Amino acid sequence: MRASGSKIQQIASSVRPRTSAIQSTPYSWINNSTPSSSTGTLAGKSIAIKDNISYTPAPTSCSSSILQEYNPPYNATCVESLVSAGAHVVGQTKMDEFGMGSLTTHLPPFYSLVHNPASPSPDEPPRSAGGSSGGSAAAVAEESCWAALGTDTGGSVRLPASYCGVVGLKPSYGMISRRGIIAYADSLDCVGILAKEVDDVEQVFDVISQPDGGDMTCSSSSSRSIASKILQRHFPKNGIRGLRIGLPQEISISCPPSLIKYLKSQGAEIVEVSLPALSKALPAYYVLASAEASSNLGRFGGGWYGSSVEREKANKDESGEERRKRIRTEGFGKEVKKRILAGTWALSADEFNNTYLKALHLRHLLRGNYQSLFRIPHPLSPTRSITVDQGGIDMLLHPTAIRTAPVLKSRQDKGSDEYNQDLLTVPASLAGLPAMSVPSGKGKDGWPIGVSLTSQWGMEGLVFKLGKVVE
């Protein structure tokens, strides 16, 4: 176990090529070891990983003070797969503490803020790289790594991808093992991939999207093969001719008209569709994610997890309860505490029916909305039929974010304004569907904008196909 502060010393002692200013580095730890010569499909590829993905050579801190000295006993399954395929882990990236945030501003005070590298001019004030995987997106955008892993519970890969002008995939729920990922909200958490090009994201996906007996929610080989048979049987091998793309009418911000025109010219059919439950997705998400987080974060309190420095400080007269309270009070940041309180409240006996169950019901409605739109049924639906609904769509298309990257003001709590950033990303998370943000030009302010492609569960192949046309 390394002494407290060692991560910061590591960063201070190493400057990666093209890392613009160490003050705003996206990394919380940099791997200074020389890459060993490797073979495999990812040989020679440098990959950064978000700091909530277990990685044994360094503490996995979730950008939280409480875990600064936590060295995981094993590597996450996705990291093992990357390393076995020859990839070199270049470092761990900063994130909003425990994945809670949209701007990568909920960081311990000893971490510098991450600056978005996609600035159109050096005179521009720094903007946020998005969150919570802002460090991973910025590392890809500044080209200090070839690809990066993030996690996406409600948009944490897609939003930073959109703000930084890179590609970001949230796969179907259960496609990539969560073994070794420090949980935020289990029913929503997904490992996601960021890279400059769709091809690169696909290459990483092919390596880490595997069944895993170590994660009971990771889909089995038989579920995967049902999905891939449907994909092969129903969709064109080349191009997007005949692909039916839906534009949700509830989303008032539109995709660039030149993109729609281009997709039509390539033979796609564009139709307007409706997702009536879309407006309820954001409140439902924040209730469910906070409820799950309040339960998941109960394990941090200086027992198995929590800093040894805190333990040493323990005063002999302190009761176990007092010690746990002190460690949690000092170790968690403000936003994390807020979510724990909100989640505990939603799960309390008085509120359960009125808050938690209502949010679950809204999630169910939204899932139904999506399923009624798709041309092919959910591959794992017990009632699935082989016939396709010709009136249905194959893909949804809409902007990833409600705006371009916001100016980086401070670390303070941004309240509901920050939560609103997730308006267009949480729906696919609640429905467990694959969604990918692909850069699609610049906004009026010169900063990148991204569009999101969402498809049926297990149809990543289709998402990659359309993504390559869009980029």
Q: What mask of x and - would describe binding to ligand GLN in positions 137 to 156, judged by CB under 6 A? A: --------------xxxxxx
Q: Give the angle 31-37-39 at the CA atoms, nearest 5°.
A: 115
Q: Site for ligand GLN (CB under 6 A): how many residues?
A: 14
Q: Which of 83/278 has CB closer to ligand GLN?
A: 278
Residues 187, 191, 193, 198, Cα dihedral to 10°: -50
Q: How far is the CB of 162 from ligand GLN (least distance, A)?
A: 13
Q: Which of 66/100 has CB closer to ligand GLN?
A: 100
Distances (CA, A) of 362 to 173, 217, 355, 366: 18, 22, 11, 6
Q: Read out DSSP for 90-150?
A: EEEE--SGGG--SSS----TTSPPPPPTT-S-TTSPPB---SSSHHHHHHHHTTSSSEEEE
Calculate helix-pair angle for 281-296, 334-347, nearest 10 degrees. 100
Q: Give the separation between CA 187 and CA 173, rounded to whole angstroms.
A: 8
Distances (CA, A) of 325 to 154, 318, 334, 337, 373: 29, 10, 15, 12, 48
CA–chain centroid gap for 93, Å, is 13
Quick check: 25 binds ligand GLN (CB under 6 A)? no
Q: Which of 99/180 has CB closer to ligand GLN?
A: 99
383 burial (CB, 10 Å; 0-12 / 13-18 / 19+) is: exposed
416 carries an active-site annotation? no
Quick check: 289 binds ligand GLN (CB under 6 A)? yes
Residues 377 to 436: which contact ligand GLN by CB under 6 A?
422
The β-bridge relationship of strands 395-399 and 435-442 is: unpaired
- H-helix or E-strand spanning residue 167: strand 167-170
Among 100, 207, 435, 451, binds ligand GLN (CB under 6 A): 100
Q: Give the separation between CA 226 and CA 219, rounded to whole angstroms.
A: 11
Interacting span for ligand GLN (CB under 6 A) from 15-23, 100-108, 240-248, 313-321: 100-108
Interacting span for ligand GLN (CB under 6 A) from 96-104, 358-366, 384-392, 406-414: 96-104
Catalytic residue among 54, 63, 132, 440: 132
Quick check: 294 binds ligand GLN (CB under 6 A)? no
Q: How far is the CB of 156 from ligand GLN (least distance, A)?
A: 3
- H-helix or E-strand spanning residue 88: strand 88-93
Residues 101 to 120: which contact ligand GLN by CB under 6 A?
101-102
- H-helix or E-strand spanning residue 467: helix 460-470
Q: Which of 89/190 has CB closer to ligand GLN?
A: 190
Q: How far is the CB of 208 from ligand GLN (least distance, A)?
A: 18
132 carries an active-site annotation? yes
Q: Which of 305/419 has CB closer to ligand GLN?
A: 419
Catalytic residue among 50, 94, 280, 465: 50
Calculate helix-pair angle for 460-470, 221-234, nearest 10 degrees. 50
Residue nearest to ligand GLN (CB): 156
Q: Which of 151/400 has CB closer to ligand GLN?
A: 151
Q: Which of 128/440 has CB closer to ligand GLN?
A: 128
Q: What mask of x and - would describe binding to ligand GLN in positions 152 to 191, judged by CB under 6 A? A: xxxxx---------------------------x-------
325 carries an active-site annotation? no
Binding interface with ligand GLN (CB under 6 A): 99-102, 132, 151-156, 184, 289, 422
Annotated catalytic sites, by residue?
A: 50, 132, 156
